[in-house]
Amino acid sequence: MTDPLLRLDNVRAALRLRGGEQELLRGVSFTIGAGEALGLVGESGSGKSLTTRAITRMLDPAFRVTGDIAFEGASVPRMNAQALRRYRQRDVGMIFQDPRAHVNPVHRVGDFLTEALVRDRGVDRRDAERRAVELLDEVGVRTPEQRLRQYPHELSGGLLQRVMIASVLLAEPKLILADEPTTALDVTAQSDVMAILDEQRRARGLSLLFITHDLELAAACCDRLAVMYAGEIVEQGAHVYEAPRHPYTIELLGARPSIEHRVERLPVLRYDRAAHELLKAEAS
């Protein structure tokens, strides 16, 4: 049996405060195989984005992180500066929730796309621009040569997110971390962006960690789901969407809006530590 591409083993992250520590990630463990897509779902504040920051070793120094994160068998927490830089530049690509917050507004799209290739990999600028044009075309951007000369503010949100996807694919990573990449987009653009991301991932044999609060969307484009609640993975597997076992997963599915049923109040699952531990044991 081959080792997974990414493995998280009992990862904990505690925020150091004046009066002690507040643990925000509580023993997170999961794996992602080569070419596999895992959907990490849960409500806001459950720890999804903290998990991606732990994977990329980008948590604030105020956090005390324990456990291990291994990429292709190499421990990420133990990487030296050179290995960590290579890991971030070449192995893992990040697609963020709001593309406008992660591009330089005074740089043209072409500069944004080609900078890393030219600076970090020594690719000739003309060759880098050619690659960028080809990739923009693959992700559904019309007139890509023209887009290279434009600034981010001249592009719609959906178009700019396609540019972000192209920038990640240009780096040829093995794993893509997509942190709610469709939240800031309208419904039509959401569907297009996810279809493009899923198609490109499958065509290139890339792995994906897709973070979302949308169970239905995650189930449609991921091989497995992992449900996060209060900093923990309470349930994971291919069965989660069709046959959830943990009460939180059931309530999360039940909280989805429906055009067929009217409810006066959405269901709420109160957090009780002792009950939660018992329920998690029963669901596993």
Q: Quick check: is 219 in a domain?
A: yes
Q: Is the residue at 133 inside a domain?
A: no
**Which pLDDT band holds residue 265 (cuts at 50, 70, 90)?**
confident
SS3 259: coil
Q: Does pLDDT of 267 surpass 70? A: no
pLDDT interval class at 148 (50, 70, 90): very high
22 is a domain residue: yes
Flag whether pLDDT at 12 surpasses 80. yes
The answer for 262, left when phi > 0, alpha when psi is -120 to 50, beta otherwise, is beta
Q: What pLDDT was estimated at residue 274?
A: 61
The confidence score (pLDDT) of residue 271 equals: 53
- Strand 175-179 with 92-95, pairing: parallel
CA-based torsion, 211, 266, 216, 36: positive or negative: positive
pLDDT of 130 over the 90 cut: yes
Neighbour tally for 106: CB within 10 Å: 9
- Are 211 and 49 in contact by the 8 Å Cβ rule? The answer is yes
* Ordered DSSP codes for 77-115: TT--HHHHHHIIIIIEEEE-S-GGGGS-TTS-HHHHHHH
Q: How far apart are CA 76 and CA 65, in angstroms?
A: 12
Rounded to the nearest integer, the mean pLDDT of the chain is 88
Q: Tell me, yes or no, whether 87 lies in a domain.
A: yes
What's the pLDDT at 256?
73
What do you get for the CA distance between the two ends of the chain, in Å?
Answer: 23
In whole angstroms, give the CA distance from residue 83 to residue 71. Answer: 11
Per-residue tokens: 258: 């429906």
Going by pLDDT thresholds of 50, 70 and 90, the confidence category of residue 67 is: very high
pLDDT band at 270 (very low <50, low <70, confident <90, very high): low
Find the domain containing 193 and state its range: 6-106+151-283
Residue 146 — pLDDT band, cuts 50, 70, 90? very high
Q: Please state, for a pLDDT cut of 90, what percent of the chain lies above it.
A: 56
95: domain CATH number is 3.40.50.300
Is 169 a member of any domain?
Answer: yes
Within a domain: 32? yes
81-106 pLDDT, tens per residue?
A: 999 999 998 999 999 888 888 888 99
Domain count, the chain: 1
Span 213-237, average pLDDT: 91
Does residue 122 fall inside a structural domain? no
124 in any annotated domain:
no
